[in-house]
A and B are shown apart, each in its own frame.
Chain A
């Protein structure tokens, strides 16, 4: 029996879960005609841990130790969101010093996450030097986290009522040292990666997310801002210490992979600016307002929807309390589901197979957070 031409040309290709262009826990099934993608199907579920259900079985304080695991590269927005939801329902005031510390953690975490995003973007187009650089530079931030919180990747540090510890002695100076170093590294990233002819050639005009589609499909964060929409929860719905801080929202208009790269590059600079302000202005005072004995802690009936601008986009928790010692329901609105599933599936269509990995990484979706 002979096959028709169409049958021969159209075939399925599995990118991931074991593929150099994907990080081992996510996959995309591409339907190809030649080297052109005619359909893409995101396949998750390799990392499903059922966090939302797990949370219903745990005490409020215990959950702090698991929410951070929802997004590995950028765990702190989870802790912050979770704590803020409880604070909102229970009416707990957070000391102003704790708010500054939280904002600093969030910004450090954002830089760390963007560095990873750079590295993986570069890796996906075959530029393997940059990942080595960004991973080792990110380590400097992890060392700060280690000093502040005792943990490197999962900090379990932001708890309802504030943070678990005050800044260690000399910590501010070391934060400044690290951000100064990172700032000095940015031009080198430019030389090696962002201004490289290879990057420009590969990334420009690839995976274009138009402004209309970005809004229609629910893009948030750097991906939305790269399509020309100036939206940032830190400004639109300020939380923690952000009302007291001065910073800009970088945007680009093209909406392609390169524009997203540039937005992230500019955000690192903004974050450094924010951290410097925090170091300069952080007030003295307590870092935690006493909450009741965690084993017998009930919060009032009610619900709260809190949002954070994470490095991936809008991160939100919908938290319902029935007045018990455990959450009645916690729903996590992660940015990565929209970016890593719906938008990705749409953007991949009509692109060529060699750009698929790059588009995936330029959207900077976080598979653990998609699956949860």
Chain B
């Protein structure tokens, strides 16, 4: 083509050849133009899948998406009753909401026409049915390859099997600053975790602070709900992580490890400063607490924040309860626990150790000295299977052994040990024994048997996997039959039969077994770890008669109030069995105690 072109009069007339052609346009609305497979048309939302996390509303750059509460939808753990509504006066069909949807419930169809006089009709609540309840094929849907969410967790550095099997050093090494910030950045701050956390910790807030590299602010956000963040950062049952919205398409945010990180960054003095921020009152009224476990310590902290003088009675030589004597050091080192307790003590809380209520002091004496009493004595007695020969020497209960091991006392260690039970306590004792065996004999010989099938086992998946790595042999779905003795009457193993089902039709514990399917496990030591029971003897008959006890637990209202006005209860003896429930109970009971005492004073 050149600019020397003079142009032609005739050439344009060539286009006359199109005069008889069919037009390229279509006759709307008589004809419809089908759209491409990926077309970003009107939204669909599968309400079954949608968890109401609101991440779509967060990413929407036009604020077209608002979360609407649907009153008739049931709220479940990890699922709110909110669903996204879309204002098509604002929507720009960018599809970012679809790409970021945590569950993949939000999609777009290929439908693209909506004509209506009413403005309201452009404001819709997408369901599975589509804007006009007409079936259109799906258009733009989430793609596995381009997922805006960070689905992979920052891996936690841990001791290797070889490193950990011979010592009780904490397995988890903790996040570095960079790792913690990266992990914190995965959070979409939906807040489903806060709902499900028994203590309702402000998880999105403290994760945000970690992400902003402000561990101090993060711990500030923890102490309003939980005075044991150092402990919970290590051994919490993390209900939060099971409902984490990121967990639907990937691995949940490591909320527990983030908490651990934040607390570990601060010195004791810094945390003390935080713990004292909300302190008030004159500490004239007295409250006594029996048991220095999670619920007792939590109640003590919040009451002293509100201005009460607190005395805790603890039977054992050191405070901490199950956290000290039940959980092995490789999961919860003493120094983390000591740090949390030291901070609570700095509030002026007095902990009287070696003081067993019922022996060293009576409940009546305690009552007379104080305005209210909180009991959080936990499940301190181990249950027994009651099978044949289980009372013979060489058979142990898990809690007794764990307490000894954690205090560094010697136990009669055997080369071959059989554990009965499939919960976390069973793994605690199995792994503790494995460590001792490896140190003493150079090899691990632990068999663990439980009623539950492998995928129904109650212990955390991490525990099971790490236990297996450490050499523990698991025999799930077996019911213990009898402890086997040799001709001299010494222990030689455990006989089990196959367990067919654990609960009967009405949901009661009633295992069905196949007596013919027998397996014997060799062992000169048998440990029962099938659960714990409370002991209320210290309360005395008068009080016990007035309490209602169902399946070992004291019936209280939501705030730990018992039928006796001055007596409050919490922790494992009310809910459980985990630390975070105890912390929550203690906090709520503290509020109830404050209310009770304030009202008493008014009278």
Contacts and interface: CB of A to CB of B under 8 A. Distances in A.
Interface residues of B, number: 49
Given A150-B139, A252-B3, A292-B150, A191 B11 contact: yes
Nearest to B39: A150
A296 B5 contact: no
B15 A188 contact: yes
Contacts of A199: 7
B36 A150 contact: yes
Contacts of A296: 184-188, 211
Given A148-B38, A199-B7, 6 more contacts: A146-B36, A151-B94, A195-B5, A287-B146, A292-B182, A295-B58
A192 interface: yes
A65 interface: yes
B137 to A, nearest CB: 13
Q: Which of A61, A193, A266, A287 has the most CB of B within 10 A?
A: A61
B3 A259 contact: yes
A136 B25 contact: yes
28 contacts: A59-B59, A62-B96, A129-B15, A136-B24, A143-B36, A146-B39, A147-B36, A147-B38, A148-B38, A149-B38, A150-B36, A150-B95, A150-B108, A151-B40, A156-B92, A165-B143, A168-B38, A191-B14, A195-B8, A196-B9, A197-B7, A201-B7, A253-B3, A287-B146, A290-B150, A292-B185, A296-B185, A296-B186
Interface of A: 58-59, 61-66, 129, 136, 139, 143, 146-151, 154, 156, 162, 164-166, 168, 188, 190-201, 204, 252-254, 258-259, 262, 265-266, 286-288, 290-298
B33 to A, nearest CB: 10
A309 B93 CA distance: 27
Nearest to A137: B24
B38 A61 contact: no
A147 B6 CA distance: 42
Interface in B149-201: 149-150, 182, 184-189
Contacts of B37: 147, 168
Q: Lowest 4 A-B CB distances belong to which pairs?
A: A200-B7, A62-B61, A65-B94, A197-B7
B145 interface: yes
B508 to A, nearest CB: 46
B340 interface: no
A156 to B, nearest CB: 4
Secondary structure type dominating chain A contacts: helix
Nearest to B98: A150
A63 B188 contact: no
Contacts of A286: 145
A164 B40 contact: no
Contacts of B148: 61, 291, 293-294
A61 B24 CA distance: 37
Secondary structure type dominating chain B contacts: loop
B146 A164 contact: yes
Q: Which of A129, A151, A168 has the most CB of B within 10 A?
A: A151
Contacts of B146: 162, 164-165, 287-288
Interface string B126-150: 0000000000000110010110111
A71 to B, nearest CB: 16
Contacts of B15: 129, 188, 191-192
A263 B600 CA distance: 92
B28 interface: no
A104 B58 CA distance: 32
Given A150-B39, A200-B7, A156 B14 contact: no
B100 interface: yes
A252 B3 CA distance: 8
A225 to B, nearest CB: 13
B3 A165 contact: no
Contacts of B108: 150
Contacts of B8: 195-197
Nearest to B95: A150
A156 B62 CA distance: 14
Contacts of A197: 6-9
B70 to A, nearest CB: 24
B25 A288 contact: no
